[in-house]
């Protein structure tokens, strides 16, 4: 069996840390792991599978000899370094927004469109976290009944904004309990005991950039004919994104058949026993790989429409896990090489 050299770029960040952990428990044939980060972190030692790995600076020449690089270093770093890595024969899987809208670089969820990898040119984009979990849940329904329209409202955890947001939520919660000052730095308003219908910047059409990501990425990954509208909300939850999905299909469906379909779908776990208070929750999904669905019910206001509640760990399936799964697909399909221009 062939073995590979993999790199994690942004290895000490929240998602980079999850990538390292996910690689450690994966069965990918990794011969060597290279950990890259900002110059300030170069020289730090990280334990991985019993090895002591020294972090190196993320720079062009560090990609020499690397087969696959998993990027979680932000858009600017990806735009600068991924093309340099590709020049050195490295296939890059990027978790930022840098290449998601590209006409040539595939945007991939392995359970949804793995075939998109077949024509990659060295860079593969990892979709937005909220899009990933939604499309993993929608794919089996679309295949069976053809989705016509989706209305999605998200309830997103602060970990999606990075560690500073998690720290701010904790600080505000402690300050509230102790009668102290609730400091507001990361978000435009207090996040503790609040809900902010504002993720990323507002665009000219009144939607946020996050909302438009979900719309545009659904069209690129699943089907451009699906009507999608989104409202994304930041919640005082540390980890785990939740979504309310209203799904209209072209073909009629039986709800029990949909439950069976979802139960068999890759990457999906059904938690749907509301009589016994069983339904997906961010708290119980945290630290777990699947996309959880529940609260399946008929929308009685119009035909061929259902409602669904969907929850997943945004740092795992929404970021690190999906990226590692893409690397696995590249290896399985024999695509760990940069096509010659």
Selecting among 90, 92, 120, 241, the annotated active-site residue is 241
Please name which of 259, 239, 241 lies closest in space to residue 311, comparing C-alpha atoms: 241
Cβ contact 237:258 at 8 Å: no
Q: Give which of 317, 303, 267 is closest to 138, Cα–Cα.
A: 267
Tens digit of pLDDT for each residue in 92-114? 999 999 999 999 999 999 999 99
- What's the average model confidence in pLDDT over 181-210? 98
Q: Can you list the domains of the chain with their CATH numbers? A: 4-127+319-332 (3.40.50.720), 131-314 (3.30.360.10)
Using pLDDT thresholds of 50, 70 and 90, give the confidence band for residue 68: very high
pLDDT for position 176: 96
Model confidence, pTM: 0.95
Nearest to 141 by CA among 22, 6, 296, 25: 296
Rounded mean pLDDT of 71-80?
A: 96
Q: Given the residues 90, 129, 142, 310, select the one marked as catalytic.
A: 129
Closest C-alpha among 67, 210, 198 to residue 127? 210
Whether 129 sits among the annotated catalytic residues: the reply is: yes
**Catalytic status, residue 310:** no
The pLDDT of residue 154: 98
For the chain, the average pLDDT equals 97
Share of the chain above pLDDT 70, in %: 99
Q: Check pLDDT > 70 for residue 340.
A: no
| Share of the chain residues as helix, strand and coil, in percent rounded to the nearest 5 | 35, 25, 40
Using one digit for the tens of pLDDT, what is the confidence trace for 256-290? 999 999 999 999 999 999 999 999 999 999 999 99
Q: Is the pLDDT of residue 339 over 90?
A: no
Judge whether residue 341 has pLDDT over 90: no
Q: What are 308's two structure tokens?
A: 């669904």
Q: Check: CB of residue 88 under 8 Å from CB of residue 103.
A: no
Distance CA 7, CA 63 (A): 8
Q: What's the pLDDT score for residue 323?
A: 98
């Amino acid at each position: 069996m062939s073995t590979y050299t993999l790199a994690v770029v942004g290895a000490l960040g929240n998602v980079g840390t999850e990538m390292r952990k996910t690689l450690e428990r994966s069965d990918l044939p990794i011969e060597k792991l290279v950990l890259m980060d900002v110059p300030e972190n170069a020289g730090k030692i990280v334990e991985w599978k019993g090895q002591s790995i020294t972090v190196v600076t993320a720079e062009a020449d560090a990609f020499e000899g690397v087969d696959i690089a998993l990027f979680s270093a932000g858009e600017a770093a990806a735009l600068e370094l991924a093309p340099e890595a590709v020049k050195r024969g490295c296939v890059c899987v990027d978790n930022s927004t840098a290449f998601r809208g590209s006409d040539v670089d595939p945007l991939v969820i392995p359970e949804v469109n793995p075939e998109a990898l077949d024509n990659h040119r060295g860079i593969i984009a990892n979709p937005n976290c909220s899009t990933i979990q939604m499309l993993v849940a929608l794919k089996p329904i679309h295949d069976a009944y053809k989705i016509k329209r989706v209305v999605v409202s998200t309830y997103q955890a602060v970990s999606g904004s990075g560690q500073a947001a998690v720290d701010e939520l904790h600080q505000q919660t402690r300050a509230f309990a102790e009668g102290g000052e609730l400091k507001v730095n990361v978000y435009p308003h207090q996040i503790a005991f609040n809900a902010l219908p504002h993720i990323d910047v507002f665009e000219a059409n009144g939607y946020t950039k996050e909302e438009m990501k979900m719309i545009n990425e659904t069209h690129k990954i699943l089907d451009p004919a699906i009507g999608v509208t989104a409202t994304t909300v930041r919640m005082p939850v540390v980890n785990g994104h939740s979504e309310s999905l209203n799904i209209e299909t072209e073909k009629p469906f039986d709800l029990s058949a949909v439950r069976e379909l979802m139960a068999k779908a890759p990457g999906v776990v059904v938690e749907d026993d509301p009589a016994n208070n069983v339904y997906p929750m961010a708290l119980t999904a945290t630290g777990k790989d699947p996309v959880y669905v529940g609260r399946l019910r008929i929308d009685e206001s119009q035909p061929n429409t259902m409602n669904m509640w969907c929850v997943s760990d945004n740092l795992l399936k929404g970021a690190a896990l999906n990226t590692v799964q893409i690397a696995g697909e590249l290896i399985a399909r024999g695509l760990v090489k940069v096509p010659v221009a």
